[in-house]
Amino acid sequence: MSKGFASSYRIVLLAIGLFACFGGLGVRLVWLHVIDRDALLKTITRVRQQLIVEQAKRGDIRDRNGAIFATSHSRIVLGVDPTMVRPQDMKNIPKLAAMIGVPESDVRRLFLTRYAEPVASQTAPVAPAAGIQFKIDRPEPAAPEISTEPTATAEAETPTPAATALAAALAAVGEDTDLDPTPDEKGRRVVRWARLSEGVSEEVSAQVLKLGFKCITTDRVFRRVYPNNQLAAHVIGYVNRQQEPAAGIEAYADFYLRGQNGWRVGERDGRNRELAQFNTRKVPPSDGYTVFLTIDTVVQDLVEQELAYIAEKFEPLKATIIVSDPRDGFILGMANYPSFDLNAYNKVPKDELARMRNVAITDVYEPGSVFKIVAASGAIEERQATPESTFDCSIDRIDYKGRTRKLPREDHHFGRLSVAEIISHSSNRGAAQLAMSLGDDRFYGYARAFGFGQRLGFPIGGEQGGTLHPPKKWDGLTITRMPMGQAVSCTVLQMHQAMSVIAADGVLLRPQIIRQIRDAAHDVVYRYDRDEIGRAISVNTARTMARLLMGVASKDGTAPEAAIPGFDVAGKTGTAQKYINGKPSDRHHVASFVGFFPAGRPQVAISVIIDDADHKAHGGVAYGSKVAAPSFKRIGERLIPILNIQSRGPAVGPGLVAANEGGRR
């Protein structure tokens, strides 16, 4: 009788085989999950699990009407994983190179560069001055040895041999390359990723992917662009290649502009493709806010056109023009010559880096005769003089505080002049006597009240406070020289705001460049409004000074070239000697005209400051009336339709009655 299909012996063998298989599987599982668990987890995490960053879009910078100064464009960074290159991929390299605009030889090199290894292992840290040789291991052809020199200085702590070798390997294959930090059994470091292109458009990226590459990766990033190139360059600033703000509004408002990057934890397969089903956490990016400036693009362009004209005609060392609304301190235009292209900031020659500085707030100069508004305003405010009060401007010496002081020289011979004539004719001796009527301390106090010797809180970094020494540091001539704008230094912005004190009815306003900040939903997050630093003079004194300053732009004043037909212009000329080798020069000057209009109802203030244009000026001296005042007029005339400036009669207040009745100019 049959006992079955298999004998007991076979059944035992089968059972032993099954138990052996399951036993081996169990041992393997124990080994993987218990004994070798930590090492395997590190490997898996390094190879598969990744923290994937999703870039936030940097916010725009716009002018007060919404025109774009700076924005961010989406770009696709292409990279290659050389370990995933297939033979068929090499055939499409010429097409790829043509699409992304990279030389075919460079693309082929990146595809074939799979390893970086030192020629000889390092047993000790390499000195900063020593060279390190590395060879690039490619399948074909054999690579020559490449010599690299470390560029970083030695740190306080000596680097380990492994760190030194890794840094050298990176230097050998390029900065835009990711290497496996752990060398293989041969001491080589695997190239995990190499950049093919800094950034291509979405369309080009799609065409590249159609070629069927499995080794190419795509990452979306945002690149900063400046549609207007150099327009308002010193105000806007720029973002460098590392997407870090370097200057201007880009740096000051970075907190609002930069946004917040998102991220997700995910895994990639052996072909470096993301496996969405394994995404465990995700935080979406938050785009940056939009910053609206007080700058008007049309006004800014007009200002820069005028600077280009000045540069061509006079070839100055530098020049600055500022346009603002004196009623609230909002800057409508601010530009300097020379300037630079924001999209090519890294192409500025090293010996010309000074052109990237916003000299309107970083460089100081002696303001010259424009500073006379301080002494005149103070004397009228303190009732030491009225517009019709007269002073003997023919004398060259005067007694002051028990000492005889030498008065400054005049460009013309004057006799007795009224305060109105001292302003309109720009008398140095008259200004000195007005300051003396105040005394050292009160005159110094008014200079401070007008904003000199202190930073005004302009939001863009680098603002200088200028020089205004207290009376205890004055010598015997300071009280006679400072009223005419010597022995004091300021920035162009300080002088502009000082003149705006008169246009703003006696209040020193903080200069503003940002109007508001809006979020992605266009809701206003923060709004900047008129900000008063303090009152310098009374309303009556300010209006009286506005009337007196109208005499400067009259036919009998120092700057009839600044007059605008149909409008009352108030302003002041300045021609300040520059110090060359420690001595004042008769052939190097800073020419300026600072003013506002309409004088009775000020709507716009304009400052034009031109440094060292003497060699091209008529007669070899760059007078403010001949060099700067005409630019004031041209800008003012073009601003009338742009800003809808209305010609109105002067606002006659109590302080203007005396000026109207007694002032002749």
Q: 609, 371, 592, 588: which is closest to 478 by C-alpha? A: 371
Rounded Cα gap, residues 553 and 572, in angstroms: 8
Given this model, what pLDDT does residue 5 score?
62
Given this model, what pLDDT does residue 12 score?
82
Name the more confident of 434 and 90.
434
Given this model, what pLDDT does residue 660 score?
35
Q: What is the mean pLDDT of residues 158-178?
A: 52
The residues, ordered by sequence, that sit 6+ positions from 36 with a Cβ below 8 Å of its Cβ are none
pLDDT in tens, 278-315: 556 677 888 999 999 999 999 999 999 999 999 999 99
**What is the number of other CB atoms lying within 10 angstroms of the CB of residue 621?**
17
Helices and strands, counts by H and E, the chain = 21, 26
Of the segments 135-139, 175-179, 319-323, which one has the largest average pLDDT value? 319-323
Assess whether pLDDT exceeds 90 at residue 643.
Answer: yes
Which sign, positive or negative, has the C-alpha torsion 83, 87, 90, 95?
Answer: negative
Assess whether pLDDT exceeds 90 at residue 537.
Answer: yes
Mean pLDDT of the chain: 84
Tokens read off for 492? 């162009």
pLDDT in tens, 378-424: 999 999 999 999 999 999 999 999 999 999 999 888 999 999 999 99
Rounded Cα gap, residues 329 and 381, in angstroms: 23
Rounded Cα gap, residues 22 and 480, in angstroms: 106
Given this model, what pLDDT does residue 4 score?
55
Q: 76 - beta bridge partners?
A: 200, 220
Residue 175's pLDDT band (boundaries 50, 70, 90)? low
Contact by Cβ (8 Å): 408, 463: no
Half-sphere exposure of residue 41, counting CA atoms within 13 Å on the CB side?
7
pLDDT in tens, 37-60: 776 665 555 545 566 677 889 999
Tokens read off for 45? 């995490």
Q: HEC string of 354-378? A: HHHCCHHHHCCECCHHHHHHHHHHH
Q: What is the CATH number of domain 47-81+215-293?
A: 3.90.1310.10
Q: HEC string of 93-128? A: HHHHHHHHCCCHHHHHHHHHCCEEEECCCCCCCCCC
Residue 135's pLDDT band (boundaries 50, 70, 90)? very low
Kindly give the residue spans of alpha helices, DSSP state H, lying in 490-537: 492-503
Given this model, what pLDDT does residue 40 score?
63
Name the more confident of 4 and 634.
634
Given this model, what pLDDT does residue 77 score?
85
Given this model, what pLDDT does residue 582 score?
84
pLDDT in tens, 312-371: 999 999 999 999 999 999 999 999 999 999 999 999 999 999 999 999 999 999 999 999
Tokens read off for 447? 């200079």
pLDDT in tens, 3-23: 556 678 778 888 888 888 888
pLDDT in tens, 543-588: 999 999 999 999 999 999 999 999 999 999 999 999 988 888 889 9
Indicate the range of 81-90, 118-127, 207-216, 246-255 predicted with least confidence: 118-127
Q: What is the mean pLDDT of residues 431-445?
A: 97
Q: 389, 387, 323: which is closest to 593 by C-alpha? A: 323
Parallel, antiparallel or unpaired: strands 61-62 and 290-293: parallel
Name the more confident of 493 and 272.
493
- Please report the DSSP string for 443-478 in residue order: HHHHHHHTTTTS----SSTT----B---GGG--TTH
> 52 vs 79, 181, 478, CA distance in Å?
15, 19, 65
Q: 322 - beta bridge partners?
A: 334, 607
Contact by Cβ (8 Å): 335, 304: yes
Rounded Cα gap, residues 240 and 235, in angstroms: 16
Given this model, what pLDDT does residue 620 score?
92
pLDDT in tens, 597-613: 999 999 999 999 999 99
Given this model, what pLDDT does residue 118 score?
54
Given this model, what pLDDT does residue 478 score?
96
Name the more confident of 141 and 384.
384
Domain boundaries, the chain: 47-81+215-293, 83-201, 297-662
Q: 503, 492, 568: which is closest to 373 by C-alpha? A: 503
Q: 50 - beta bridge partners?
A: 266
Please give the share of the chain, as a percent, with pLDDT higher than 90: 58
| Domain 297-662 in the same topology as domain 47-81+215-293 | no
Given this model, what pLDDT does residue 655 score?
37
Surface-to-core class of residue 383, CB atoms within 10 Å of its CB (0-12 exposed, 13-18 middle, 19+ buried):
exposed
> 596 vs 79, 298, 546, 547, 642, CA distance in Å?
57, 19, 9, 12, 16
Print burial letters for 463-491: b (CB count within 10 Å at least 16), e (below 16). bebbebeeeeeeeeebbbbbbbbbbbbbb
pLDDT in tens, 236-285: 999 988 889 989 999 999 999 998 888 766 665 554 555 554 556 677 88
The fold adopted by the segment(s) 297-662 is Beta-lactamase (3.40.710)
